[in-house]
Chain A
Amino acid sequence: MSTTPGLSAWNVNVVTGGTPLVDSIDVEAAAGTITAVVGPNGAGKSSLLAALARIHGTGVVQLDDEDLDGLTRRERARRVALVEQSTEASVDLTVRDAVALGRTPHLGAWGGDDAPDVVSDALEAVGMSSFEHRNLATLSGGERQRVAIGMALAQEPQLLLVDEPSNHLDISAQLAVMTLLRERADAGTTVVVALHDLTLALEHSDHALVLSHGRRIVSGPTDRTLTASLISEVYGVDASILVDPDTGRRALSFAPSASPARDTRIPAREAERTFREVAAV
């Protein structure tokens, strides 16, 4: 049905205990692009990603015109990887063994390491090569997060779903992860990433899908979709987007929505010297 390769999902619903967490959402994401799923807490971002991975929920999810529900679990696991937000803290495995698990859907019935290079590359990509013999239980939250991403990379999926990769990570690691996702996208992978941090979404995604209370508010090219007015409305704050005149990098600035005059924001006066304000409510 879709004309370009990538993800097409229609009428995705997730209902738990009578409460709709994801309410009739359609998703289009072209191969080779990064789609950011944003929205306030409880908007249904994680539920939507899990539904796209066919863990739960109803609806039609197609990848490259192939219905994911028509595939076996293994076939699906070769095409779709989901990095979830909270990974179990007490897992007793080495980093390499954990990342190698990503190869599971590619292995024959009797095991056999089909592609040790893929595992090494994935370890390298998430910067965990020197940790490969460490036990997961000894790692920090951020390191475990990177292992989880490495595991998904080792799966070599066509659709990579990542839930809040910036959690637990410091700034340089956040940027490293976003760069990594961009590399995967450039290699043809369809990347869908749920992001808390709107600045990351603004700077690193091609498309944005904005959710609120389980419903799709708007979606489209990030530049035109994640506007200050939309963010203000959806998050219930007073948001402005600031652009660094030298680098063109954008950042968001927030105030409570009832805030009076603009110049009462603390760093504003200072920021004016560096940032040119391009959009405001």
Chain B
Amino acid sequence: MLGSAALVLSLVLGVVIGPADIGLVELGAILVDGVTGDRADLALRASIVWELRLPRALTAAAVGAGLGIAGVIMQAVTRNPLADPFLLGLSSGASLGAVSVIVLGASLLLPVAAFLGALLALGATLMIARSAGPLTPVRTVLAGVAVSAVFGALTSFVIFWTATGDSYREILGWLLGTLGAADWNSVRIAGIALLVVGGALLATGRTLDAFTFGDRSAALLGVNVARTRLMLLVATALLTGAMVAVSGAIGFVGIVLPHMVRLIVGPGHTSLLPLVAINSAAFLVLADTLARTVFEPRELPVGVITALVGAPVFAALLARRSSMGVRS
């Protein structure tokens, strides 16, 4: 309940705040007019809402929810509290996939290419982490850092190679994540992925709980461990791919929000998943609102904000793990 209210509130803020002040009453009128098809009257201000802020806020919400869900799934399936699509390299892989098809001019394939990139990066991370021995959380994150660096470098390389105009800006956008280019097409891509993949993942709470005791216990409870893990990881890559395709690699949402929500509602995944989805959505909408307004009229990549909030939380998690004497 609280989460939903926060999401609605953040969406309203995300649409109202900006260089052109739009009051709540005006917003209401614009939204009603937009829905009833009579947009001409409010022309400019209506188009600010309908063409810029609303699709941007909705994209932020969908991306936030998707990344949050992806984080929860990855943490449970890899039994690694430090797992997240950004830290394990999926986001960088997805960025490379997205950038590659954009320079090839095949933008229709954008989400598909981002998905394949995410999958490739995930495979690489797990392979590298496993090659050195058993899959420990910290080793997995280190492998993710290496994979992120490689895919990030390749992304920059592809953009420079085909440079047309503002390459730096574009590189920053993909590597740090930005919602500056969000339009209704972004809403469509992120929204459909969230509804279909994210929606299906919301029903996996019990299965994720079963994974917390380890593969053997999950198998004893009738879970087909190998197949379920593969399906869940592929679904995570799919979700991450779609989100990165519209926003670039926004970091830390998938690790910060799951841990914060867990502190409040406890570790059971059945209630954790939907709450993380809603709160991550609200968080990213607010972060993006900040990103586009603090240095008005210049825009900060939203990933800068999420990293500023997220990195300290991540550091605290690491510290807490070592103080608990958990094998890293």
- Among the listed A84, A91, A92, A101, which residue makes an inter-chain contact with B206, where contact means beta carbons less than 8 Å apart? A101
For the residues of A in contact with B, the DSSP-based class is: mixed
Query: Which chain A residue shows the least CB distance to B227?
Result: A73
In the assembled complex, the CB of A143 is this many whole angstroms from the nearest CB of chain B, namely 15
Q: A87-B213, A88-B214, A91-B213 are in contact. Are A97 and B267 (CB under 8 A)?
A: yes
Q: A53-B220, A111-B206, A111-B270 are in contact. Are A90 and B326 (CB under 8 A)?
A: yes
> Would you call B170 an interface residue if the criterion is a C-beta within 8 Å of the partner chain's C-beta atoms?
no
Q: Within A56-114, which residues are at the interface with B (CB < 8 Å)?
A: 72-78, 81-82, 84, 87-88, 90-94, 97-98, 100-102, 104-105, 107, 109-111
| List of A residues within 8 angstroms of B262 by Cβ | 92
Q: Are B219 and A55 in contact (CB under 8 A)?
A: yes
Q: Please classify how large the interface on chain A is, using the bins under 10, 10 to 19, 20 to 34, 35 or more.
A: 20 to 34
A72–B221 CA distance with the chains assembled, in angstroms = 11
> Would you call B224 an interface residue if the criterion is a C-beta within 8 Å of the partner chain's C-beta atoms?
yes
Query: Which chain A residue shows the least CB distance to B75?
Result: A92
> Would you call A253 an interface residue if the criterion is a C-beta within 8 Å of the partner chain's C-beta atoms?
no
Q: Are B222 and A101 in contact (CB under 8 A)?
A: no
Q: Are A93 and B267 in contact (CB under 8 A)?
A: yes
For the residues of B in contact with A, the DSSP-based class is: loop
Q: Are B221 and A92 in contact (CB under 8 A)?
A: no
> Would you call B205 an interface residue if the criterion is a C-beta within 8 Å of the partner chain's C-beta atoms?
yes
| List of A residues within 8 angstroms of B268 by Cβ | 93-94, 97
A91–B218 CA distance with the chains assembled, in angstroms = 13
In the assembled complex, the CB of A258 is this many whole angstroms from the nearest CB of chain B, namely 41
> Would you call B210 an interface residue if the criterion is a C-beta within 8 Å of the partner chain's C-beta atoms?
yes
> How many residues from B make CB contacts under 8 Å with A?
25
A259–B249 CA distance with the chains assembled, in angstroms = 73
In the assembled complex, the CB of B207 is this many whole angstroms from the nearest CB of chain A, namely 8
In the assembled complex, the CB of A71 is this many whole angstroms from the nearest CB of chain B, namely 10
Q: Are A73 and B219 in contact (CB under 8 A)?
A: yes
Q: Are B270 and A101 in contact (CB under 8 A)?
A: no
> Would you call A135 an interface residue if the criterion is a C-beta within 8 Å of the partner chain's C-beta atoms?
yes
Q: Are B205 and A111 in contact (CB under 8 A)?
A: yes
- Fill in one digit per residue for B233-269: 1 if any A CB lies within 8 Å of its CB, else 0: 0000000000000000000000000000010001110
Q: Are B212 and A76 in contact (CB under 8 A)?
A: no
A60–B174 CA distance with the chains assembled, in angstroms = 57
Q: Are B221 and A94 in contact (CB under 8 A)?
A: no
Q: Are A102 and B216 in contact (CB under 8 A)?
A: no
In the assembled complex, the CB of B186 is this many whole angstroms from the nearest CB of chain A, namely 30
| List of A residues within 8 angstroms of B222 by Cβ | 72-78, 104-105
Q: Are B203 and A110 in contact (CB under 8 A)?
A: yes
> Would you call B209 an interface residue if the criterion is a C-beta within 8 Å of the partner chain's C-beta atoms?
yes
Q: Are B213 and A94 in contact (CB under 8 A)?
A: no
A98–B214 CA distance with the chains assembled, in angstroms = 12
Query: Which chain B residue shows the least CB distance to A78?
Result: B222
Q: Are B213 and A101 in contact (CB under 8 A)?
A: yes
Q: Are B267 and A55 in contact (CB under 8 A)?
A: no
Query: Which chain A residue shows the least CB distance to B207?
Result: A104
- Fill in one digit per residue for A10-48: 1 if any B CB lies within 8 Å of its CB, else 0: 000000000000000000000000000000000000000
In the assembled complex, the CB of A109 is this many whole angstroms from the nearest CB of chain B, namely 8
> Would you call B145 an interface residue if the criterion is a C-beta within 8 Å of the partner chain's C-beta atoms?
no
> Would you call B223 an interface residue if the criterion is a C-beta within 8 Å of the partner chain's C-beta atoms?
yes
| List of B residues within 8 angstroms of A100 by Cβ | 206, 209
Q: A76-B222, A94-B266, A97-B267 are in contact. Are A111 and B213 (CB under 8 A)?
A: no
Q: A88-B213, A104-B210, A107-B206 are in contact. Are A135 and B267 (CB under 8 A)?
A: yes
In the assembled complex, the CB of A183 is this many whole angstroms from the nearest CB of chain B, namely 22
A29–B48 CA distance with the chains assembled, in angstroms = 75
30 contacts between A and B (CB under 8 A): A53-B220, A55-B220, A73-B222, A73-B223, A73-B224, A75-B222, A76-B222, A77-B220, A77-B221, A77-B222, A87-B213, A87-B217, A91-B213, A92-B81, A93-B212, A93-B267, A94-B267, A94-B268, A97-B209, A97-B267, A98-B209, A98-B213, A101-B209, A104-B207, A104-B221, A105-B222, A111-B203, A133-B266, A135-B266, A155-B221
14 further A-B contacts with Cβ under 8 Å, apart from A77-B220, A88-B214, are: A55-B219, A55-B220, A75-B222, A76-B222, A78-B222, A87-B213, A91-B213, A92-B262, A100-B209, A101-B210, A104-B206, A104-B210, A104-B221, A135-B267
When A and B form their complex, which 3 residue pairs have the shortest distance between CB atoms, in order from nearest?
A: A77-B222, A105-B222, A74-B222
Taking Cβ atoms with an 8 Å cutoff, the residues of B that contact A are 81, 203, 205-207, 209-210, 212-214, 216-217, 219-224, 262, 266-268, 270, 324, 326
